[in-house]
Chain A
């Protein structure tokens, strides 16, 4: 009842990010910009230089004696649990007797300045006894070194399907890791409050988890810790579990010294300490028919999880559950190994395992297409989900909202895929050292946390007597525009201008027990929670307005800052004042739990997702076959946003996600040496895309159709899915490499496709081509 009349009032408009005017003026404060309390100390970690070793002795006397140093703490000084891992409790804040990776924090020093703390931290003398270190997926597999038991997902009769398939192909691919590279590094600022309470400013996607881990590290109850985050300078999954380390350490030091403590690692330390996207090794065995339709598929996924469990369970589960991407796989067996290594503990990163699973199947499809000398797009389409009989995922969820077929057909037409592909093939026959390639790749991504209980959210909405509205919810702002979207929802429901709605910082004291802002779910769940609160307020106001105007409350509509019933209307602020005088509650909470979910994480079966988001991209690239350098020339994207709440913000997510995915698959390469030390730990050695790397032609359109599920205003989640559109770049690069051998052979290309990787793929293919041609027929 009282819903706004048809045309949306605020929802659906391309409004600016609510902080845009602050961002551009340098007036948007991040945690490091908060005015420091007098007496604030600055902390720095001392880090392990060994991948796996016993600590024989740690001489910190020179650290303590360094100028400006106030305190130094080790694991022994942690009053509560020496752990920041919420899942398996296996992440020490400070190493005990053993170090498990190079970069692990050993101790924390606090000094009068950031610089003095960093200088002091380097003066430690640590004696190690090296222990055997497991660094790679292969070493871990050989040693059966896993952080969690391996998982198998099976369906149908794989052996029969493989044996009876007309064609059979085996292959493998490596998919590299990726650093989140949020521009604002990790940071926590912990302030002691009265009676042992703590206030922590943390740059975190998960204030509640930070709150819990801080309380546990100190050994106090959760209600004594408040965590606040107004905004992050980027997160991308890297601030889901990782911030708890910095917050807990800063809090322990604050407790230890009685002073406010800020902990902001330098960029290099941030790289060395924190987890990244899991790198994967994929091996497969596929059986298929003449059209490339897969009859049976066996896949082995092995990921490098690092020293601890962290989120590796759900990340790898999601990889398994995205092996299908848009394809019906009747008979299959997926085995997923979660390798324990002496490296940083791999963690969440936009897509959360989904990208790696989808890269696996896209590579398989591309191999099949090249094996059959067919257009990879035709093979993709031949394997699409379809009507009954072809609409059940390997994890037994029915795909009810499949639109990839229509969406792909539309994009192929709009982007001239077929014609350009033919032109490129002709061009390649006459070109010199440069070759071009093109690929169209679809994306289907499951929306919801696979841990069903996390799909809940809360909001708190205050209406003040001047008619202004203060909104708070459990979601965090990391640049995605969540606060703007949720404010739009509230403005819409109350029929007021967005300017009247102020969004306040995520704060554990306002909405408790929140889930991380992750899994693309931010707008979906927080929007719904805020909507519930707004509807509650609106209904109360409608009663007041109805009484005042002498009409039934149910006839009142809210729009244009007025409550209206036919010709009668009253201004919102006037109504609010009236409600106050009538002693009507002007604040409300809202709560939401995502419906329809039922999923068993033990068997990986059920309905883990509320719905799917879709998209597709065509990328065209060129490579230099003498150097391996590449360029993305043109990209066309059609992406399913449902009925977008804010098309401008959604466009930003699509473009930004795509470019981030492009970096993952091309220039971003993490290198560890043979002692397990990360050698790429700053932007001088780790290369995310720059402005000139984006395609000169970059057409992005939204596929705006109502979500078939009752999501917030029928929109769809858009945070993660676009990242995977960048698979089209990788496959276009493969296409360009394949042209070396007249598209007759399957190129061997791993991700990221750096110049070196591409040149080696070109060379290997050239040799194989020569060998195949010289071989007698």
Chain B
């Protein structure tokens, strides 16, 4: 094996900024996590490990990148499951990088002043999530703050003081004297010269560490290939059929931290420009497989609001900032959140193998539990999502034990067109009901061409018990899954019918009726 590898192993280094300081690392181990690097190699112990699976947020750090419009985009990620070589060309910020000459950053100050820490262990992660929010939104409201914090668990405070700190941090930032208005310290949309100058310096440094070519790094534990173009990717894919494709790594990270697997050959798709593109054509939204959930949600909001909501509830921001739609699809989990929605919406996927491509309906991609139609040497290049059509009704519902950063027990997605009270193009798909994301054919047949009425819907809901034989597990029982699947169709009916009263408990607010 080593011999086979060495012929295309090129020793190389990765370059990135750590709290503004250029760093160069020769041949970093491909699957070493950013967290281990920070804590063990650099002894920067402010960033914590709480779960090593991206679910608690104690490890949250921020990543700065050029946003393509002359600015810097700042987003969180979970350092515990992020592989070190993926930092190449980026600016990494950790909790240690926020103080200025011994003075607390406005985010830190707000947290301390509002009693936002008790045991303090989750605090660095919370500070970094708030930092990314501070840098990306000038006046976040409470829902935006809750969303920004949805991946940060705190077991002590009950969150209220943290929310208060988040509401206060921008005001503290705006009071900063000029000498402290570096890019790191100034709030989003700060127009001061000091901030602009500092941002320009950071961009320049980012430009210096950013390379425009593909790179490979090798280490005894494995090789890391980072192609830049679709062509390089397809050649690599053909050359290294045994290699694993790495995108956001939000699942693959756990293969390393939880299953302790060795991954000897990785091809990282996160730098392939063609794969990150999201384009709206006349008929479709064409989504590059490596577009992140965050990037996607922004585009989809206007077209499919319910899908955007699902993508928000898909996971926390640090996960959404890394995870890709292609990754979710190729991973093929029976409880992946995007697939039932995409299947209900009639999405197709474009698969590429070298110069050859084929397009298949997404539902046909899934063959059996964690088994897809992906052929050796092939990869998911694009997702083709039809634009909404006139009269189309679409709703999707995620049921989990918790609203944010939950794993679906059941996810139901419903799409149909109403033609003079008759249902057409009925597509019903579920996650969590079978070994794969799956359409409910019996239910669809009971709807197609029928009159839009409560009784038709109830009859179709009955069919779901025949369409699926779900399992019992720690997320929910088969009985619950079947019951709730049928009820979701009824909820769909209620919402489209529009009785005027609210139907979604998560949108209820206290004291109001």
Give A residues with C-beta under 8 Å from B. 14, 16-17, 19-30, 32-33, 35, 113, 115, 118-119, 122, 180-185, 231-236, 266-268, 423, 427, 430-434, 436, 478-481, 620, 622-624, 626-631, 633-634, 648-649, 651-652, 655-660, 667, 669, 671, 673, 679-680, 682-685, 687-698, 754-756, 759-760, 763
Extra contacts besides A234-B156, A268-B258, A627-B487 (18): CB < 8 Å: A17-B118, A21-B108, A23-B123, A35-B43, A118-B260, A180-B155, A183-B122, A235-B119, A267-B52, A433-B503, A479-B118, A479-B156, A679-B474, A690-B403, A691-B162, A692-B149, A692-B150, A755-B401
Does B322 lie at the interface of the complex (its beta carbon under 8 Å from any beta carbon of A)?
no
Q: Which of B52, B121, B147 is the one whose CB lies under 8 Å from A30?
A: B121
Does B55 lie at the interface of the complex (its beta carbon under 8 Å from any beta carbon of A)?
yes
Contact of B95 with A434 in the complex, beta carbons under 8 Å: no
Q: How far is the CA of A685 from the CA of B484 in the complex (A)?
A: 20
In the complex, chain A residues whose CB is within 8 Å of the CB of B44: 26
Contact of A234 with B155 in the complex, beta carbons under 8 Å: yes
CB distance from B478 to the nearest CB of A (A): 11
Please, could you name 26 A-B residue pairs with CB atoms under 8 Å apart, sorted by A? A16-B115, A24-B95, A24-B117, A181-B153, A182-B119, A182-B121, A183-B58, A233-B119, A234-B118, A234-B119, A236-B155, A434-B505, A624-B503, A627-B505, A633-B508, A652-B118, A659-B157, A679-B473, A683-B56, A687-B406, A690-B402, A691-B163, A692-B150, A754-B401, A756-B409, A759-B483
In the complex, chain B residues whose CB is within 8 Å of the CB of A432: 494, 499, 501, 503
Contact of A480 with B510 in the complex, beta carbons under 8 Å: no
**Chain A residue with the shortest CB-CB distance to B97:** A26
Q: How far is the CA of A623 from the CA of B152 in the complex (A)?
A: 25
Q: Which of A266, A481, A634, A693 is the one whose CB lies under 8 Å from B510?
A: A634
Q: Which of B158, B474, B502 has the most CB of A within 10 A?
A: B158
Q: How far is the CA of A267 from the CA of B56 in the complex (A)?
A: 11
In the complex, chain A residues whose CB is within 8 Å of the CB of B260: 115, 118-119, 122
In the complex, chain A residues whose CB is within 8 Å of the CB of B95: 24-26
Does B45 lie at the interface of the complex (its beta carbon under 8 Å from any beta carbon of A)?
yes
Contact of A652 with B156 in the complex, beta carbons under 8 Å: yes
CB distance from B116 to the nearest CB of A (A): 8
Name the 4 nearest CB pairs between A and B, nearest first: A26-B46, A233-B121, A479-B119, A23-B120
Contact of A652 with B99 in the complex, beta carbons under 8 Å: no
Contact of B46 with A695 in the complex, beta carbons under 8 Å: no
CB distance from A610 to the nearest CB of B (A): 25
How many residues from B make CB contacts under 8 Å with A? 97
Does B77 lie at the interface of the complex (its beta carbon under 8 Å from any beta carbon of A)?
no
Within 8 A of A (CB), among B109-131: 109, 111-113, 115-124, 127
Does B94 lie at the interface of the complex (its beta carbon under 8 Å from any beta carbon of A)?
yes
**Chain A residue with the shortest CB-CB distance to B490:** A626
Q: Which of B58, B111, B117, B473 has the most CB of A within 10 A?
A: B117
Contact of B508 with A26 in the complex, beta carbons under 8 Å: no
CB distance from B45 to the nearest CB of A (A): 4
Contact of B99 with A17 in the complex, beta carbons under 8 Å: no
- Map CB proximity to A onto B27-55 as digits: 1 under 8 Å, 0 otherwise: 00000000010011001111111111101
Q: How far is the CA of A685 from the CA of B474 in the complex (A)?
A: 8
CB distance from A619 to the nearest CB of B (A): 10
Contact of B476 with A756 in the complex, beta carbons under 8 Å: yes
Contact of A690 with B111 in the complex, beta carbons under 8 Å: no
Q: Which of A14, A231, A629, A631 is the one whose CB lies under 8 Å from B120?
A: A231
In the complex, chain B residues whose CB is within 8 Å of the CB of A669: 401, 474
Contact of A760 with B404 in the complex, beta carbons under 8 Å: no
Q: Which of A119, A236, A633 is the one whose CB lies under 8 Å from B509?
A: A633
**Chain A residue with the shortest CB-CB distance to B129:** A691
**Chain B residue with the shortest CB-CB distance to A649:** B115
Contact of A234 with B474 in the complex, beta carbons under 8 Å: no
Q: How far is the CA of A432 from the CA of B99 in the complex (A)?
A: 52
In the complex, chain B residues whose CB is within 8 Å of the CB of A691: 145-146, 149-150, 152, 154, 159, 162-163, 404
In the complex, chain A residues whose CB is within 8 Å of the CB of B294: none
Contact of B494 with A671 in the complex, beta carbons under 8 Å: no
Asked, given contacts A19-B120, A28-B120, A667-B402, whether A628 binds B503 with beta carbons under 8 Å apart, the answer is no
Asked, given contacts A624-B505, A648-B115, whether A656 binds B402 with beta carbons under 8 Å apart, the answer is no
Does B491 lie at the interface of the complex (its beta carbon under 8 Å from any beta carbon of A)?
yes
Q: How far is the CA of A29 from the CA of B48 in the complex (A)?
A: 10
**Chain A residue with the shortest CB-CB distance to B497:** A432
Does B98 lie at the interface of the complex (its beta carbon under 8 Å from any beta carbon of A)?
yes
Q: Which of B104, B112, B505 is the one whose CB lies under 8 Å from A622?
A: B505
Contact of A622 with B118 in the complex, beta carbons under 8 Å: no
In the complex, chain A residues whose CB is within 8 Å of the CB of B473: 679
Asked, given contacts A683-B55, A684-B407, A690-B150, whether A627 binds B402 with beta carbons under 8 Å apart, the answer is no
Within 8 A of A (CB), among B150-184: 150, 152-163
- Map CB proximity to A onto B74-85 as digits: 1 under 8 Å, 0 otherwise: 000000000000
Q: How far is the CA of A119 from the CA of B403 in the complex (A)?
A: 34
Contact of B504 with A480 in the complex, beta carbons under 8 Å: no
In the complex, chain B residues whose CB is within 8 Å of the CB of A25: 46, 95-96, 98-99, 104, 108
Does B430 lie at the interface of the complex (its beta carbon under 8 Å from any beta carbon of A)?
no
Q: Which of A236, A627, A680 has the most CB of B within 10 A?
A: A627
Contact of A17 with B115 in the complex, beta carbons under 8 Å: yes
CB distance from B76 to the nearest CB of A (A): 14
Contact of A267 with B476 in the complex, beta carbons under 8 Å: no
CB distance from A230 to the nearest CB of B (A): 11
Contact of A755 with B409 in the complex, beta carbons under 8 Å: yes
Does B477 lie at the interface of the complex (its beta carbon under 8 Å from any beta carbon of A)?
yes
Q: Which of A115, A183, A185 is the one whose CB lies under 8 Å from B153?
A: A183
Contact of B117 with A183 in the complex, beta carbons under 8 Å: no
Contact of B399 with A627 in the complex, beta carbons under 8 Å: yes
Asked, given contacts A232-B119, A652-B118, A656-B158, whether A690 binds B505 with beta carbons under 8 Å apart, the answer is no
Contact of A20 with B115 in the complex, beta carbons under 8 Å: yes
In the complex, chain B residues whose CB is within 8 Å of the CB of A695: 510
In the complex, chain B residues whose CB is within 8 Å of the CB of A30: 48, 121
Q: How far is the CA of A181 from the CA of B56 in the complex (A)?
A: 10
In the complex, chain A residues whose CB is within 8 Å of the CB of B101: none
In the complex, chain B residues whose CB is within 8 Å of the CB of A754: 401
Q: How far is the CA of A155 from the CA of B203 in the complex (A)?
A: 77
Does B511 lie at the interface of the complex (its beta carbon under 8 Å from any beta carbon of A)?
yes
**Chain A residue with the shortest CB-CB distance to B477:** A756
Q: How far is the CA of A660 from the CA of B155 in the complex (A)?
A: 7
Contact of B46 with A27 in the complex, beta carbons under 8 Å: yes
In the complex, chain A residues whose CB is within 8 Å of the CB of B258: 266, 268
In the complex, chain B residues whose CB is within 8 Å of the CB of A756: 409, 476-477, 480
Q: How far is the CA of A760 from the CA of B481 in the complex (A)?
A: 11
**Chain A residue with the shortest CB-CB distance to B256:** A115
Q: Which of B46, B157, B503 is the one whose CB lies under 8 Å from A434?
A: B503
Q: How far is the CA of A579 from the CA of B324 in the complex (A)?
A: 69
Contact of B121 with A184 in the complex, beta carbons under 8 Å: yes
Q: Which of A32, A436, A626 has the most CB of B within 10 A?
A: A626
Q: How far is the CA of A234 from the CA of B380 in the complex (A)?
A: 44
Does B86 lie at the interface of the complex (its beta carbon under 8 Å from any beta carbon of A)?
no
Contact of B121 with A183 in the complex, beta carbons under 8 Å: yes
Does B417 lie at the interface of the complex (its beta carbon under 8 Å from any beta carbon of A)?
no
CB distance from A460 to the nearest CB of B (A): 24
CB distance from B488 to the nearest CB of A (A): 7
Does B397 lie at the interface of the complex (its beta carbon under 8 Å from any beta carbon of A)?
yes
Contact of B53 with A184 in the complex, beta carbons under 8 Å: no
In the complex, chain B residues whose CB is within 8 Å of the CB of A760: 480
Within 8 A of A (CB), among B330-371: none
CB distance from B80 to the nearest CB of A (A): 10
Does B475 lie at the interface of the complex (its beta carbon under 8 Å from any beta carbon of A)?
yes
Q: Which of B45, B494, B508 is the one whose CB lies under 8 Å from A32?
A: B45
Contact of B117 with A267 in the complex, beta carbons under 8 Å: no
Contact of B157 with A183 in the complex, beta carbons under 8 Å: no
Does B405 lie at the interface of the complex (its beta carbon under 8 Å from any beta carbon of A)?
yes
**Chain A residue with the shortest CB-CB distance to B157:** A656
In the complex, chain A residues whose CB is within 8 Å of the CB of B499: 432
Contact of A671 with B158 in the complex, beta carbons under 8 Å: no
Q: How far is the CA of A685 from the CA of B405 in the complex (A)?
A: 10
In the complex, chain B residues whose CB is within 8 Å of the CB of A28: 120
